[in-house]
Amino acid sequence: MLRSIKPGIVILVAALLLAIPLVVNAGETLDSVKARGYLIVGVNGGLFGFGMPDEKGVWRGLDVDTGRAVAAGIFADPDKVKFVTLTTQTRFTALQSKEVDVLCRNATRTLTRETELGLNFVAVNYYDGQGFLIPKKLGVKSAKELDGASVCVLPGTTTEQNVADFFRTNKLTMKPVVIEQNTELNQAFFSGRCDCLTSDASQLAGIRAVAPNPDDYMILPDIISKEPLAPAVRHGDDQWRDIVDFCVLAMIAAEDLGISSKNVDEMLKNESPDVKRFLGVTPGNGKALGLDEKWAYNIIKKVGNYGEVFERNVGEETKLKLKRGLNAQWKDGGLMYAPPFK
């Protein structure tokens, strides 16, 4: 029953979104956030490593820390932020109806979301892509050998569509096994109800880690889709968009410049003009954004640079054990590339 009514609701909501003229004045969002005294960020709530409360009810994750960074940039305090849990269905409406100021909920940037849904995605905070997890005994080395396979997949996201597209493009057949919840999906896969499981690559490592015997499973090297996950804001307030954009970029730039939460105080004395401008020793950036000159210093000091945030939430030391890969700095062969802060 649940599944049959969902598409109807999504269409209805989308129609409503299109019908509502969005009147937002530049600068309005920052003013209302400041007047309120805290930032409201929409997050996933159940995605380990990206947005999930720990056993003490404290929010943890890459998306959560991105939200904290924006709060630190505005208020010099990463805790002046409230997290609101949003489902796949409610996430974009919550942003439109101003229930949240920023959406950091592992949302893929796409053309229609940016245009028809009236969202502005900012700098990407995680480059993901869809892959396959298979049992080794299947004896398959590439996704193209998966002809006729039954595929465990979650419904309603871009994942389901991507895998169908991939099989069609390569003239292969597949049997989708659609299961609503992550935990049930994993168990179905481990108990052998399907030949392979498809999901974002960032999830596959974690799923493999919880297998009864992780060594029996492997992740295929093929990545079949591009999933640039980025925070999003509403159309119509360019100043707010710039602030959120550069708060994310500041974490990336800091890693590039060699500034981390541990050495940021020493770096204040650094002679490099780039570092001086970045940390607000040479003023200008803060005024241009409408923030305090210390905004980037506060983000790095209180939240950390991108590398630190990555390692803390999803890196090799965590349960997800993700490598930097596409998310390494451009110098190291990744895609993380911040524009000059001047």
Which positions lie near other proteins, rule CB under 8 A?
1-2, 5, 9, 12-13, 16-17, 20, 32, 45-48, 52-58, 82, 84-87, 89-90, 93-94, 96-99, 181-184, 186-187, 190, 206-207, 209-210, 212, 319-320
Q: Closest CB to other proteins among 107 and 140?
A: 107
DSSP-derived secondary structure for 290-331: TS-TTHHHHHHHHT--HHHHHHHHTSTTSSS----GGGSBGG
Q: Closest CB to other proteins among 287 and 321?
A: 321
Closest CA to 329 of 296, 304, 313, 305: 305
* Min dist. Cβ of residue 52 to other proteins (A): 6
Please give the C-alpha separations between residue 31 and each of 162, 174, 187, 341, in angstroms, as whole numbers.
40, 52, 48, 24
Q: Closest CB to other proteins among 53 and 290?
A: 53
Closest CA to 298 of 313, 316, 315, 278: 278
Listed in sequence order, the residues at least 6 apart from 37 whose beta carbon sits closer than 8 Å to its beta carbon are 75, 80
Asked if 67 contacts 79 with a C-beta cutoff of 8 angstroms, the reply is no
Asked if 102 contacts 244 with a C-beta cutoff of 8 angstroms, the reply is yes
Q: Closest CB to other proteins among 188 and 218?
A: 188
Q: Closest CB to other proteins among 52 and 296?
A: 52
Taking the alpha carbons of 256, 261, 264, 266 in that order, is the dihedral positive or negative? negative
* Min dist. Cβ of residue 295 to other proteins (A): 26
- Strand spans (E) along 190-247: 196-200, 217-219, 227-229, 232-234
* Min dist. Cβ of residue 222 to other proteins (A): 24
Q: Closest CB to other proteins among 77 and 180?
A: 180
* Min dist. Cβ of residue 229 to other proteins (A): 17
* Min dist. Cβ of residue 334 to other proteins (A): 24
Asked if 199 contacts 130 with a C-beta cutoff of 8 angstroms, the reply is yes
Q: Closest CB to other proteins among 9 and 288?
A: 9
* Min dist. Cβ of residue 217 to other proteins (A): 13
Helix (H) / strand (E) containing 128: strand 126-128
Q: Closest CB to other proteins among 59 and 278?
A: 59
* Min dist. Cβ of residue 200 to other proteins (A): 14
Please give the C-alpha separations between residue 88 and each of 93, 105, 159, 186, in angstroms, as whole numbers.
10, 9, 13, 19
Torsion of CA 3, 6, 8, 14, to 10 degrees: -150
Q: Closest CB to other proteins among 182 and 239?
A: 182
Closest CA to 244 of 102, 129, 148: 102
* Min dist. Cβ of residue 85 to other proteins (A): 4
* Min dist. Cβ of residue 311 to other proteins (A): 16
